[in-house]
Amino acid sequence: MRRRVIFRGKLLPYLLLAPQIAITAVFFFWPAGMAIMQSMLREDPFGLRSTFVGLENFAELFADPLYLGAFSNTLVFSGSVAFFSIAVGLFLAVLADKQIRGANLYKTLLIWPYAIAPALSAALWLFLFHPAIGLFARIIRGYGVDWNYYINGGQAMLLVTIAAAWKQVSYNFIFFLAGLQAIPKSVLEAAAIDGASETRRFWSIVFPLLSPTTFFLLVVNLVYAFFDTFGAIHALTQGGPAKATETLIYKVYVDGVVNLNLGSSAAQSVVLMVLVIMLTAVQFRYIERKVHY
């Protein structure tokens, strides 16, 4: 018995849609169109000479081992950022959901990191782990580890992963906490009466019931790691050492802004655009259909 409003004529609906379409056109279609156009040009930075080269920029990109390297860096980086931030967020949410004294205080404190600007938090991480002046760096070296992420690629990757994941933990925490509170207490009580241990109750009841939240967070965290971690990487490693932490989004910046290689940078943005469209499509298609309780 849904009520449907049917407009007479064709003008009014288009008129009502016009503001939204205008905003989408100006802020999405136009820049995206420019990027696609630029990706098929080879141009000097000043735009004085440009040649149409078709798909050559793309061909060069996929033949370039460094680009493929950035691709695999991005997969490793995004995968671990999503995994760590979801795992830690869930762990903290489960702890904070218990009946403990001062639970509200913990909850508030755990949400704080989300309010810190990415560049700022990266600066804090820098001060903690800087090989020369970092507080933790000194402690780590006290244990005999040669901590110098300026030359050790693995350490650099670990550091940017932790810095990027740390910020996302709060976000995941809020969603998991809400998810946990929505789980009917009666089910848990019934299981407890049947003699299920706490671990068992978590894996057999809580975790499956949380799966829609987890799936949503997985997509959101992957998108975050793909596109929003520029600040952390820029402040900490600048993609180094030896490109060990250069992700796709960072490479777009390096090639476009630093190296002024606009054609290649635009081609990379187009690839990223395709990726984000795919991720969003997956999210819309599966988020409520395939994840069942």
Partner 1 sequence: MHRRSLLAVGAAAALSLAASTGARAQAPIDIQFWHAMTGPLGQIVGQAAEAFNQAQNRYRVVATFKGGYVDTMTQAIAAFRAGQAPHIVQMFEVGTATMMAAGRAIKPVHELFAEAGIPLNTEQYLAGVRGYYSSSDGKLISMPFNSSTAVLWYNKDVFRAAGLDPEKPPATWPEVFAAARQIRERNAAPCGFTVGWPTWTQFEQFSALHNIPFSTRANGFDGLDTELRINAAPFVRHLNNLVEASRNGSFKWGGRDNAAEPLYISGECAMIQTSSAFRARVQREAKFQWGATMLPFYPDVIAEPINSVIGGASLWVMTSPNRRAEEYRGVVEFFNFLSRPDRDAWWHQQTGYVPITRGGYEQSQRDGFYQREPGTDMPIHQLTRGTMTENSRGFRLGRFVEIRNIIQEEMEKALQGQQSAQAALDAAVQRGNRVLRDFERASR
Q: How many residues make up the chain in this entry?
A: 293
Does 55 engage in binding with partner 1 (CB under 8 A)?
Answer: no
CB nearer to partner 1: give 217 or 255. Answer: 255
Which of residues 5 and 63 has its CB atom nearest to partner 1 in the complex? Answer: 63
Kindly state whether residue 69 participates in binding partner 1, applying the rule CB under 8 A.
no
| Interaction pattern, residues 149-168, with partner 1; x per rule: CB under 8 A | -xxxx---------------
Of the pair 162, 236, the CB lying nearest partner 1 is at: 236
Token digits of residue 119: 């560049």
Between 79 and 241, CB nearer to partner 1: 241
Cβ 131 to partner 1 shortest distance, Å: 8
| From 47-55, 107-115, 161-169, 210-218, span contacting partner 1 (CB under 8 A) | 47-55
- 127 or 203, CB closer to partner 1? 127
- Residue 62 binds partner 1, judged by CB under 8 A: no
In this complex, which beta carbon is closest to partner 1, that of residue 182 or of residue 258?
A: 258
Which C-beta is closer to partner 1: that of 11 or that of 132? Answer: 132
Are 103 and 93 spatial neighbours (Cβ–Cβ below 8 Å)?
no
Contact 47, 61 (CB under 8 A): no
- Asked if residue 18 binds partner 1 (CB under 8 A), the reply is no
* Binds partner 1 by CB under 8 A, chosen from 39, 74, 85, 130: 130
Residue 3, SS3? Answer: coil
**Strand segments (E) across the chain:** 41-43, 50-52
- Tokens read off for 121: 């938090």
Among 259, 278, 281, 288, binds partner 1 (CB under 8 A): 259
- Residue from 36, 42, 116, 158 that binds partner 1 (CB under 8 A)? 42
Written as one string, the DSSP assignment of 210-233 is: THHHHHHHHHHHHHHHHHS-HHHH
Q: Which residues contact 207 (CB under 8 A, 6 or more apart)?
A: 214
Beta-carbon contacts of 285 under 8 Å, excluding residues fewer than 6 positions away, are none
- Is position 241 an interface residue for partner 1 (rule: CB under 8 A)? yes
Q: Total binding residues for partner 1 by CB under 8 A?
A: 28
Between 115 and 132, name the residue whose CB sits nearer to partner 1.
132
Quick one: 107 exposed, middle or buried, by C-beta within 10 A (0-12, 13-18, 19+)?
middle
Indicate the angle between helix axes 118-129 and 153-181, nearest 10 degrees. 130
Question: Least distance to partner 1 from the beta carbon of 260, Å?
Answer: 7
Cα–Cα distance for residue pair 2/4, rounded to 1 Å: 6
CB burial class (10 A; 0-12, 13-18, 19+) of residue 159?
Answer: buried
Only one of the segments 32-40, 166-174, 178-186, 257-265 lies at the binding site for partner 1 (rule: CB under 8 A); that segment is 257-265
The amino acid that residue 5 corresponds to is V
Report the interface residues with partner 1, using CB under 8 A: 42-49, 130-133, 148, 150-153, 238, 240-243, 254, 257-261
